[in-house]
Structure 1
Amino acid sequence: MGGSMGNRSGVPARRLVLVSTNYAPERAGIGPYAAQLAEHWAARDDLDVHVLAGMPHYPAWRTDPAYRGSWRVTEDRAGVRVHRRRHTVPARQSALRRALYEASILGHGLLAPPRTGGAPDIVVAQLPSLAGGVLAARMARAARAPFIPVVQDLMGAAAAQSGIRGGDRAAALAASVERRVLASATLVGVIHESFVERVTALGVPRSRVRTVPNWSHIAGPTRPRAETRARLGWAEDETVVLHSGNMGLKQGLEVLVETARLETTLRVVLMGDGNQRRQLAALAASLPNATLMPPAPEAEFPDVLAAADVLAVTQRASVLDMSVPSKLTSYFAAGRPVIASVAEGGGTAEELRRAGAALLVPPEDPRALADGVRALAADPAHATALGETGRAYATERLGSAAGLARLTALLDEALDEAPTRPTAARRNASGPRGARV
């Protein structure tokens, strides 16, 4: 890890704080991106990188056993100093439970800021965490440092379309908080062009928005498909439809269970965890061709994806947000065709059309989903072409080197635009600022 005492060039390192509720060892969602980004920046000789994170809990929405009972944890991971704070973890989603989740993150972050050795020179936040955004904005304002929120999703839009009780009121409150957080930003990163309009509608000038797409953070498969299928108990002559990732309300995974009910020749596999897992397991209990499995170990994950015949992404019909599921980068890297049961005008459909790797069908329509899978199974040449097109898209557009370079350019631009200030090391040398941000 870089240090504020200096580096090989003799220039004091600048202190960077990344606020991301989700972080490694989480293997799904935002966590892997936050970790790879922080580790990439920590490898630079001129940065001293700290992360303020929650306790690992996603996508199971249960605190990782290794962290249970801990209020505060400070650990070094791959050159990054990670400061974790305990928070509530709602097993079921509602507007009130989500509010308590965010409030506990905010409260503990304010009560016990990370000990970073001095004030930050730049602060970055991963949204949609409202609490994380507020904490990061406060840190940056107190230190008169540049602030960059990276928008992976917007909580206001997500709450409005979540279907959870009290979602409308939660959406209005979330949008108000997001407006304040984004207004204080030096620059705003968005992971997809479809977010630009939403962000500018919240008052951010277009000139301050930069598109910084996510990247494929997993390696390609390494084992023969037949070997992995045999290990998983998938017969060579059956068509396997696999969904990987969060099992939440937004995904509307009931459509896949109903697809299995309609087409008994298909094997439908739901791999992952989330607050709807128990309900989905009950729905699938009487279906021998619908199974739930836990998230695959990191080393096996690419092989499991590649062993499926079709990879599924689903969303409820009411979901027309501009977010793009993080699973898509992994799906593309696996080289398998994607079937998408999503709204025609959303960000997911737009990204899949751009990649040319998917068959799109109407959301919450099990018959359309079943017919689409059967069409892909009946035309293996077309299915193979879709998978290869997705893999090529991931290689050319979603490589980790390019993705990390875009975010690093965003970081450097914000630092270059910031008023000239002494670095953290020089400020510390000139007088006490206090150990806490």
Structure 2
Amino acid sequence: MLLVSTNYAPEQAGIGPYATQLAEHLAAARHSEVHVLAGMPHYPAWRVDPAWAGRWRAVEERAGVLVHRRRHTVPLRQTAARRALYEATILAHGLLAPPRMARPDAVLAQMPSLAGGVLAARLARRHGVPFLPVVQDLMGAAAAQSGISGGGRAAGGAAAAERRVLRAATLVGIIHESFRARVEALGVPPERVRLVPNWAHVPVPSPDPAARRATRARLGWDTGRPVLLHSGNMGLKQGLDVLVETARVAPDLRVVLMGDGSRRDHLAALAAAVPNAELLPPAAESDFPAVLAAADILVVTQRAAVLDMSVPSKLTSYFTAGRPVIASVAPTGGTADEVRRSGGGLLVTPEDPVRLAAAARELAADPDRADTLGARGAAYARTHLSRAAGLRRITDALDEALALAAPVREALGPATRRGAPA
């Protein structure tokens, strides 16, 4: 198998953990030789990991998976032009130096990386094998609403590229039903779309109250203020200014932003004069579940202008942590749907610090309700977001794609089976 995913371990946020766990599952459970074509580790900081700085190409084995890395530009500040250069360098280096491997049986891709999708589609066509992209987000829609300079101009080109990639697929996986209409509008027939939801990719934290108290004390969160925690990427899409403003209007709350991203310096400057707003670096992978569980409330935010189709990867981790969630997002879309379906949190108007603070105070004043919401989220993660179920949905789609392609390859004859273009 070949998986094309710009993001991969050791990245701990965003798409990277899903790509990593999928590849390792295929290698172990399916006894497959699995190769991954990936970029240099850089997310969510949008800076190349120092361990990989200056390297053009690398091959490493991680948990039985051969990872082929290719260098690309990494724009610290996001503009449409810089994002286009990022994608272009991923595409160019992938085309110039594809993985050195035997002909794969199938090619998978994690999108929204347009370059990754194009590379995967070309490699699948070159070898005459099934192609299965998994849509985690769509760049066309994201570019139009990103708020970055030139985003509107980039949207048309991104949508056209997505249309070509998805129409070339044997089957198309989507992580949430909110993507279905947009994918079908790009020209994918409804019968070729499969739902393959993401899963909770972090361990369940310790249920021991003493462990939670110890983590809070270590982090300095034992001051009596309720702790609101946002963990993850600090980009434009998240609209995290609202959390600094929430801290400003509610000095009785402690607002913590943990992570990295293109807006971290901007947020640090905003928070400098707000004593109850705190920025933390990303937690270590082993400490991450405990930090989430130590908070009183977990928060997910998005800008009001964002058409929320995707489900942030942080949401599955939030539910697993067993703490109540406040989602400051549009009332329609993937995030709001998941919060309602889980029963694990509250929805508030996006970019409204007063309402966000009121919801936090409401939960802080009623710990029984907060615990109930947290328990519902944890139960939802156990029953609907298990890793085994999520991986099974993708491997079922992969097996279906292989079965669909088998008669075609047999009809085309032995030349195609050896890897000639279909």
Distance in 2 (CA, whole Å) between partners of 1:219 and 1:177 is 37
SS at match of 1:354: helix
Calculate the TM-score normalised by the size of structure 1: 0.92
Partner of 1:3: none
Partner of 1:95: 80
Distance in 2 (CA, whole Å) between partners of 1:211 and 1:355 is 18
1:105 to 90, 112, 127: 90
After the TM superposition, which residues 56-205 of structure 1 pair with which residues of structure 2 at under 5 Å, given as runs? 56-116=41-101, 118-205=102-189
Deviation, 1:346, is 2.0
- Any conservation in 1 of the 2:322–2:374 contact (CA below 8 Å)? yes
Partner of 1:23: 8
Partner of 2:347: 360
Partner of 1:307: 294
* Residue 334 of structure 2 is aligned to residue 350 of structure 1: no
2:386 to 399, 404, 423: 399
Distance in 2 (CA, whole Å) between partners of 1:126 and 1:404 is 14
- Any conservation in 1 of the 2:172–2:192 contact (CA below 8 Å)? yes
Partner of 2:318: 331
SS at match of 1:47: coil
- Any conservation in 2 of the 1:314–1:340 contact (CA below 8 Å)? yes
Q: Deviations over 1:233-265 (max 9, x none)?
A: 111521000000000000000000000000111
Question: Unmatched 5+ residue regions in structure 2?
Answer: none
Partner of 2:376: 389
Which amino acid counterpart does residue 375 of structure 2 have in structure 1? Answer: E
Deviation, 1:114, is 0.7
- Any conservation in 1 of the 2:229–2:295 contact (CA below 8 Å)? yes
Deviation, 1:46, is 4.6
Distance in 2 (CA, whole Å) between partners of 1:177 and 1:45 is 32
Which amino acid counterpart does residue 152 of structure 1 have in structure 2? Answer: Q
Alignment: residue pair count = 413
Distance in 1 (CA, whole Å) between partners of 2:360 and 2:105 is 51
Q: Deviations over 1:132-175 (max 9, x none)?
A: 00000000111110000000000001111111111111111100
1:39 to 18, 21, 24: 24
Q: Comparing 304-313 with 45-54, which one deviates more in the overlay?
A: 45-54
SS at match of 1:88: coil
Distance in 2 (CA, whole Å) between partners of 1:164 and 1:395 is 37
- Any conservation in 2 of the 1:126–1:151 contact (CA below 8 Å)? yes
Partner of 2:254: 267
SS at match of 2:204: coil
Q: Flag the 1:384–1:236 CA change in 2: closer, same or farther, 3 A.
A: farther
Calculate the TM-score normalised by the size of structure 2: 0.96
- Any conservation in 2 of the 1:159–1:167 contact (CA below 8 Å)? yes
Partner of 1:245: 232
Partner of 2:219: 232
Deviation, 1:44, is 3.6
SS at match of 1:419: helix
Deviation, 1:419, is 2.7
Distance in 2 (CA, whole Å) between partners of 1:341 and 1:375 is 15
Q: Deviations over 1:304-349 (max 9, x none)?
A: 0000000000000001231110100000000000011111112211
Q: Deviations over 1:284-323 (max 9, x none)?
A: 0011110100000011000000000000000000012311
SS at match of 1:418: helix
- Any conservation in 2 of the 1:157–1:321 contact (CA below 8 Å)? no
Deviation, 1:231, is 0.4
After the TM superposition, which residues 271-286 of structure 1 pair with which residues of structure 2 at under 5 Å, given as runs? 271-286=258-273
Question: Unmatched 5+ residue regions in structure 1?
Answer: 1-15
- Any conservation in 1 of the 2:4–2:107 contact (CA below 8 Å)? yes
Distance in 2 (CA, whole Å) between partners of 1:263 and 1:353 is 26
Distance in 2 (CA, whole Å) between partners of 1:360 and 1:185 is 36
- Any conservation in 1 of the 2:308–2:330 contact (CA below 8 Å)? no
Which amino acid counterpart does residue 90 of structure 1 have in structure 2? Answer: P
- Any conservation in 2 of the 1:120–1:143 contact (CA below 8 Å)? yes
Distance in 1 (CA, whole Å) between partners of 2:3 and 2:76 is 26
Partner of 2:194: 210
Q: Deviations over 1:69-89 (max 9, x none)?
A: 100000000000100000000
Distance in 2 (CA, whole Å) between partners of 1:373 and 1:289 is 14
Q: Flag the 1:166–1:45 CA change in 2: closer, same or farther, 3 A.
A: closer
Quick check: which one's helix share is greater?
A: 2
Q: Deviations over 1:88-134 (max 9, x none)?
A: 00000000000000000000001111101x22220000000000000
Deviation, 1:427, is 8.2
Deviation, 1:17, is 0.5
Q: Flag the 1:427–1:331 CA change in 2: closer, same or farther, 3 A.
A: farther
Distance in 2 (CA, whole Å) between partners of 1:345 and 1:113 is 40
Q: Flag the 1:55–1:427 CA change in 2: closer, same or farther, 3 A.
A: farther
- Any conservation in 2 of the 1:62–1:91 contact (CA below 8 Å)? yes
